[in-house]
Amino acid sequence: MLILPAIDLRAGRCVRLRQGDYSRETVFDDDPVAVARRFEDAGAAWLHMVDLDGAREGEPKHLDKVAAVLEAVGMNVELGGGFRTAQAVKTALGLGLARVIVGTRAVREPDWLAEIATRFPGRVALGLDARRGCVAVEGWESETRQTAVEMLRAAAALPLAAIIYTDIARDGMMAGPNVEATTHVAKASPFPVIASGGVTTVEDIRRLKASGTIHGAIIGRALYEGTIDLKEAIAVAGDPSAG
């Protein structure tokens, strides 16, 4: 199982939100490049980045910071937050990102998702962020009536790279991941599913891995607050990219 350490960017700094609430922010570091280097030194092969300002405003706002990270490290980097046009996706991929994560417009407009997935095969991941089972959009500030599984069934034929599944109620709360819900989504998904939200301890990694269906796990606040050691997490996950 892959381990993806996370950097969430807001106003140029590394932050974490609780349950996606922009008023409940903790700033952990002013230097995303330094954080990325620490993650790489610990053995991470993938880095998950989110542009929180971009998610809220509808267009990427931190491509300069992302470009600096890409120049500094050799990890595969994925980026989400504000990708609502094909041009924005193309520009970001041109920086050297392994893939971009689309959410709001992809959920609202399935035809647009089909267009960009086909245009950039294997380079687009779909972010499905769920609250009470339903997918949320607009930086998690609006909810739809669709479930994650319904979205997956509709997108099954597309050449997507992965699904990033976030349980919003667990995100940033240090309360453990929703293994049951994530496993349910992973079993229904024709694409690799990466779990996000609530991973707090190495035991959480073991539980996700034991599902046998979850491809990876994103770890954020737990790394910054020290409840998980990244090297140990990678070892416990048996991260195939770490060797």
Higher pLDDT, 28 or 228: 228
**17-20: long-range pairs with CB below 8 Å, 24+:** 17/52, 17/171, 17/172, 18/171, 18/172, 18/173, 19/140, 19/168, 19/169, 19/171, 19/172, 19/173, 20/129, 20/136, 20/139, 20/140, 20/141, 20/168, 20/171, 20/172
pLDDT band at 243 (very low <50, low <70, confident <90, very high): very low
Mean pLDDT score across all residues of the chain: 90
Contacts of 132 (CB under 8 A, 6+ apart): 143, 169
pLDDT tens sequence across 48-79: 999 999 988 989 999 999 999 999 999 999 99
Q: Which domains does the chain possess?
A: 2-237 (3.20.20.70)
pTM here is 0.92
> Which one, of 58, 59, 70, 76, lies nearest residue 32 by Cα?
70
Lowest mean pLDDT among 13-17, 39-43, 52-56, 232-236: 13-17
pLDDT band at 241 (very low <50, low <70, confident <90, very high): low
Contact 53, 80 (CB under 8 A): no
pLDDT at 137: 72
Active site residues: 8, 129
Q: Is the pLDDT of residue 105 over 50?
A: yes
d(Cα 52, Cα 45) in Å, to the nearest integer? 23
Cβ neighbours around 123 below 10 Å, total: 20
